[in-house]
Structure 1
């Protein structure tokens, strides 16, 4: 006896949506065996119903709202991208009691609370493993596998475009603009790469990870953000001399303020990473996330962070879970927001700085520069100076200090007569001194 099919609506037929439909169709028997009932694609929403899409024409519709509202649809898979239209469609589905699977990190980072409330009210499932790090399973381990542990830190490389660019710059010595152009030619960078290279994409993912790890609602606007567009070939060369490389990191962690208050930090920026740190060897378009928990210790998740098939794998994993819940009458995990921790401002975070500056090549410059650090109780770890004609390049690496003090120091350096310009300012992560 064949069980009643579970109806699925797919919103979007781009790289991810096409792979979801292909894999569902080619492996229909396997999915039925895993779930206990067959999955039936009821329709696929596209912008225009024309041309050869590689799927039966009768499944295509340009009316996603009508598709979401159909009585024979039990689960909605949203892979459209964007925010406004997907938000309306996802809310509509959840309010009707339909399970939703989405890969839309921008939507989740902005409206996690609203979507979670709608899912809880209607007792519907909301799954989003594919929204962070593509095929890498990190959302479900944080929500379920580590539900009995206390997570203290989640840090990683969660944007493949920026990691490809930085890895290529490090390997070839090429500058940022040249490498970005090559990334575009190879399909790693969008025509408008702003969301990737300025850190917006990684910030959305950081907000999702922080929300899950620390049981607190965090939005993309709460995440401190810097991009990679100012990274130079000289920065990477200097990083090598310090036994480091440079990565765009998303960092979410618990901190305790000087007054003993527990807070959380969520931040994205390019940073020097020691070569002996596990994230230093993650190159190309790959992603990796390191989780530090009190009982489990350090866990690392590594793999393809983007692409049609890898992301579809995460979407389909969620689809199987949601379909099983529909068949057996269960529910997925609800949003956990009990902690309600405040997000600390960036100035309160303890960091280390790498500061590269052009200075006048004359006696007393180093003492003048060092005095600016000392005024704000910022201890210097190393100093490197290279002469260059009428000037010199000075590189200073600090010990841990409040980010506000470091920022004030850099601002004061820019006002010194002996400093021609502050060329680069980066943070150093992966050390404790």
Structure 2
């Protein structure tokens, strides 16, 4: 039997995502009520500009006083889609204190203060759900913390930002430079006017912190995630990747260390083999590749951003939270029992692809090889680039006498690899390190 009294929902924010949440709540009201077991009613919408016309939303519901809205004693669920740290943090905490469960899409806040928010939810006996915070419409958080709750997850690696994937895919498929691809992404609405959060990896790093915490039952904050942007990736890097049978993606990688006693979390551009499932993720789509003991390898794929896809994830959480509300239960909270330390980037074991501009003289390759040996890094392959190949050192020389050498290493600690690169920069015969990129997914 369906309960007749509706569950009341307060919506914080009515932008691209918030307006879609309100629209779906209205147009799918009967279906949502049938799935939940009670009607859901939009009881208030907090916005900054109340004069703006919002199609399909009763103006009487619109308010600029978000604090008063979340303090109302009749609100069952607060949906937060305003983003940022404040006032979102205070509003969520206030909502929990006043007896409302919370659905959020706020990756930055959860990556920074997730532990405190979970503690507040537990203290007040409320739910805190945030499926939309990581990968838009892709069901990911719930599978990690519920479907795979009986398994041991060893690695989570994925493309979690659609803007960066669109740019890199465009560079790969057309040979465009970074700025040209960024300009197209901006024109199509995939990139913000200020794309820093996306292209410098801040957005992906926040998502990596959330994923690592859930996957490894360990508190991982944004500050624990090593982050590198993709603004230095060039068309030449893609040409080198193709020679290796690879492409380039901005990856969020969370994994257990070999001894299982710690975890790492990082975001950076990387070459991955074309045979890897993530290599085929095109355009603005997202995908996350999960490796676990029992289930093996799983991949979750779909649109990772946009109003409708993100709203879909928000509504999925809303249905779950409302069901819990009716049954008097709460869903899974924070699981941080493992409390594993987060190791620094230097402890990560990976491979490097290094492109060197070197002097055209005998003995260059021997000097370079010596530096690798001194740092305990084994060379896998040496490749030549340039117009004319010299006969002595397996170094390619162009018509201006410039020589180019590409070295791909075996696996070693990132500290040893980065130390090798710094030592190479100091060689008189090395005119510059043209590029350095990690190789993953093999």
TM-score using structure 1 length? 0.98
In the alignment, the residues of structure 2 paired with residue 408 and residue 320 of structure 1 have an alpha-carbon distance, to the nearest angstrom, of 51
Which residue does the alignment assign to 2:60?
58
Contact 1:20 1:315 in 2 (8 A): yes
C-alpha change, 1:261 and 1:304, in structure 2 (3 Å) is closer
In the alignment, the residues of structure 2 paired with residue 43 and residue 393 of structure 1 have an alpha-carbon distance, to the nearest angstrom, of 63
Residue 254 (structure 1) aligned with residue 253 (structure 2): no
In the alignment, the residues of structure 2 paired with residue 295 and residue 96 of structure 1 have an alpha-carbon distance, to the nearest angstrom, of 41
Match of 2:421 among 410, 420, 432: 410
- Partner of 2:262: helix, strand, or coil? strand
In the alignment, the residues of structure 2 paired with residue 2 and residue 132 of structure 1 have an alpha-carbon distance, to the nearest angstrom, of 33
Which residue does the alignment assign to 1:16?
17
Q: 5 Å matches for 1:20-419?
A: 20-54=21-55, 55-256=57-258, 260=259, 262-386=261-385, 387-388=397-398, 389-419=400-430
In the alignment, the residues of structure 2 paired with residue 302 and residue 220 of structure 1 have an alpha-carbon distance, to the nearest angstrom, of 24
Give the superposition deviation at 1:97.
2.3
Contact 1:42 1:72 in 2 (8 A): no
In the alignment, the residues of structure 2 paired with residue 223 and residue 368 of structure 1 have an alpha-carbon distance, to the nearest angstrom, of 35
Give the superposition deviation at 1:51.
2.8
Of residues 235-244 and 377-386 in structure 1, the stretch that sits farther from structure 2 once superposed is 377-386
The Cα offsets for residues 197-216 of structure 1, whole Å up to 9 and x where unpaired, read as 01010000000000000001
Give the superposition deviation at 1:2.
5.0
Tell me the C-alpha RMSD between the 2 structures: 1.0
Which residue does the alignment assign to 1:430?
441
C-alpha change, 1:405 and 1:180, in structure 2 (3 Å) is same
In the alignment, the residues of structure 1 paired with residue 344 and residue 325 of structure 2 have an alpha-carbon distance, to the nearest angstrom, of 42
In the alignment, the residues of structure 2 paired with residue 261 and residue 229 of structure 1 have an alpha-carbon distance, to the nearest angstrom, of 33
In the alignment, the residues of structure 1 paired with residue 295 and residue 99 of structure 2 have an alpha-carbon distance, to the nearest angstrom, of 36
Contact 1:97 1:119 in 2 (8 A): no
The Cα offsets for residues 3-41 of structure 1, whole Å up to 9 and x where unpaired, read as 211000000011100100001100100001001100010
Contact 1:253 1:264 in 2 (8 A): yes
C-alpha change, 1:261 and 1:24, in structure 2 (3 Å) is closer
In the alignment, the residues of structure 2 paired with residue 266 and residue 359 of structure 1 have an alpha-carbon distance, to the nearest angstrom, of 34
The Cα offsets for residues 253-304 of structure 1, whole Å up to 9 and x where unpaired, read as 1113xxx561101011000000000100011100000111111111110000
In the alignment, the residues of structure 2 paired with residue 333 and residue 81 of structure 1 have an alpha-carbon distance, to the nearest angstrom, of 23
In the alignment, the residues of structure 2 paired with residue 254 and residue 429 of structure 1 have an alpha-carbon distance, to the nearest angstrom, of 15
In the alignment, the residues of structure 1 paired with residue 331 and residue 43 of structure 2 have an alpha-carbon distance, to the nearest angstrom, of 23
- Partner of 1:76: helix, strand, or coil? strand
Which residue does the alignment assign to 2:432?
421
Give the superposition deviation at 1:394.
1.2
- Partner of 1:262: helix, strand, or coil? coil
Give the superposition deviation at 1:362.
2.1
Structure 1 spans left out of the alignment, 5+ residues? none
Give the superposition deviation at 1:222.
0.1
In the alignment, the residues of structure 2 paired with residue 220 and residue 110 of structure 1 have an alpha-carbon distance, to the nearest angstrom, of 6
Of residues 231-240 and 179-188 in structure 1, the stretch that sits farther from structure 2 once superposed is 179-188
TM-score using structure 2 length? 0.96
Contact 2:73 2:98 in 1 (8 A): no
Of residues 232-241 and 377-386 in structure 1, the stretch that sits farther from structure 2 once superposed is 377-386
In the alignment, the residues of structure 1 paired with residue 414 and residue 350 of structure 2 have an alpha-carbon distance, to the nearest angstrom, of 6
Which residue does the alignment assign to 2:393?
none
Stretches of 4+ aligned residues off by more than 3 angstroms: none
**Alignment: residue pair count:** 428
In the alignment, the residues of structure 2 paired with residue 103 and residue 80 of structure 1 have an alpha-carbon distance, to the nearest angstrom, of 8
- Partner of 2:338: helix, strand, or coil? coil
Contact 2:288 2:299 in 1 (8 A): yes
Structure 2 spans left out of the alignment, 5+ residues? 386-396
